[in-house]
């Protein structure tokens, strides 16, 4: 998703809560958009602070919470006990190595087709889902 599209989604969400799209919120959104990694709050803060030394940790916490509420970002608890965040995008699975903590994203059309079929058969509407498979990656085995 492009920054401009994400800002529109965020702006619409903020309008419903009578909040403003500040430069700090734009910056944090951009940090997450540009990252290919699953970042902790501290990592988001560090990357944001490189670009704006005046940004506060509390601002990062509040903004990430807002980004999760509006559906642009999702978070999960990593095997190391930290919460990590990523830009919300199409359904995918996480393969998580219990030895080194590596997270591999898997986007497979077959998995999505199977998921849609299971939901349809059961007449079930998903509000939120995440599939995490834990094991040992090829580098650690």
Which positions ≥6 away from 88 have C-beta within 8 Å? 71, 72, 73, 74
Domain coordinates of the chain in residue numbers? Answer: 3-87, 93-135
| pLDDT computed for residue 84 by the predictor | 87
CATH class of 3-87: mainly alpha
- Give the model confidence (pLDDT) of 69-103 as tens digits: 888 888 878 777 888 898 766 566 778 888 988 88
Find the mean pLDDT for residues 102-125.
Answer: 83
Fold held by 93-135: Dna Ligase; domain 1 (3.30.1490)
| Backbone torsions φ then ψ of 50, nearest 5 degrees | -60, -35
Q: Are 91 and 129 in contact (CB under 8 A)?
A: yes
What is the tens place of the pLDDT at every residue in 35-59? Answer: 877 899 999 999 999 999 999 999 9
The residue-averaged pLDDT of 109-136 equals 81
Q: What is the mean pLDDT of the chain?
A: 87
User: Are 20 and 63 within 8 A, CB to CB?
Assistant: no
């Amino acid at each position: 998703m492009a920054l401009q599209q994400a800002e529109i989604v965020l702006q619409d969400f903020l309008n419903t809560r009578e909040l403003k799209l500040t430069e700090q919120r734009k910056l944090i959104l951009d940090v997450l958009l540009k990252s290919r990694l699953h970042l902790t709050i501290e990592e988001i803060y560090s990357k944001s602070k490189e670009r704006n030394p005046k940004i506060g940790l509390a601002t990062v916490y509040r903004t990430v919470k807002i980004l999760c509420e509006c559906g642009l970002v999702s978070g999960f608890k990593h095997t190391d006990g930290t919460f990590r965040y990523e830009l919300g995008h199409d359904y995918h699975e996480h393969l998580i190595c219990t030895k080194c903590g590596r997270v591999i994203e898997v986007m497979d059309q077959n998995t999505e087709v199977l998921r849609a079929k299971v939901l349809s058969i059961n007449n079930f509407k998903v509000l939120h889902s995440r599939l995490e498979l834990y094991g040992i990656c090829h580098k650690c085995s």
